[in-house]
Amino acid sequence: MTRVTSHWRFCLVTGATVLAVALTASLGLWQLNRAAQKERLAEQRSARQALPALNWSDLLQANMPMDLPEMLDRQVELEGYWKHEATVFLDNRPLNGRAGFWVVTPLWHEGRQQAVLVTRGWVPRRLDDRTAVPSLDASSGLVRVKGRLAPPPSKLYDFGQAGQGRIRQNIDIDAFAAEWSLKLWPVSVQQLDSAGPETVLSRDWPLPDSDVHQHYGYAVQWFGLTLLLIFLYVWFQCIGPWRQRRASRRVESNAAG
């Protein structure tokens, strides 16, 4: 009976160890794969940013949204006019641990009805008044905007009327276009040129998915746990019983002698 119990205990521990080792090793490999994906994306982003800047003609000739994935992260230089009355402040967009807003304004194409959303920069929120927004330059002349082509501003969890008003949580391209009678491209531009008179704006945009070291660190932890499981299994299931048997034989030998 004892031998049967020991056999089933050995099989149970072995099966559990195999499953645990397979799980931890697969998680380590997954983290390595994520790091490799991010490295490829970073290389792709760098290659696209080295290409000549796009202009309005390039955008107008593009087959949207089919060509959009190949155009993201490209540099752009656009001339147009700000639609200041449509400027919105996207809430809950912290930067370096500080609460603040993203400032988003449509840029009109000169002589056409086409427009594109431009994320002009980040501004801090006043702690004494959550509804206060800073004054920005509202000049009506022709401007040249240099930036990076990006998807529309990312969306956060919506709370009721979070998509309306001057301060809002999110922007829905179609709803915003209808609200201001605009023909908006399904992209946005992250402005990169110097702020000029808009000194309140910060344009220190973080690069998406740029930290691969975290994935390598997680992979090391998972592989370390895999090795620990293997070591514990070998020690308690193989070396430990072998030492016990060896000690027992030694005791029996001494008793017989």
Q: Is the bond into 153 cis (omega within 30 degrees of 0)? A: no
Determine the 3-state secondary structure of 128 from DSSP. Answer: coil
pLDDT in the model for residue 181: 87
Tens-place pLDDT, residues 59-107: 888 777 677 778 888 999 999 999 999 999 999 888 888 888 999 999 9
Q: Is-contact 163 172, C-beta < 8 A?
A: yes
Cα(128)–Cα(70) distance, integer angstroms: 44
Residue with structure tokens 């309005």?
56
Residue 196 has pLDDT above 70, yes or no: no
Q: Count Cα atoms within 13 angstroms, Cβ side, for 48.
A: 20
Q: Picking from 39-53, 67-81, 92-106, 157-171, which range would have the lowest pLDDT averaged per residue?
A: 157-171
Model-wide pTM > 0.85: no
- The length of the chain, given as a count of residues: 257
Q: Picking from 56-60, 180-184, 238-242, which range would have the lowest pLDDT averaged per residue?
A: 238-242
Cα(92)–Cα(169) distance, integer angstroms: 7
Q: Is-contact 82 153, C-beta < 8 A?
A: no
pLDDT interval class at 163 (50, 70, 90): low
pLDDT in the model for residue 131: 79
Q: DSSP class of residue 239?
A: I
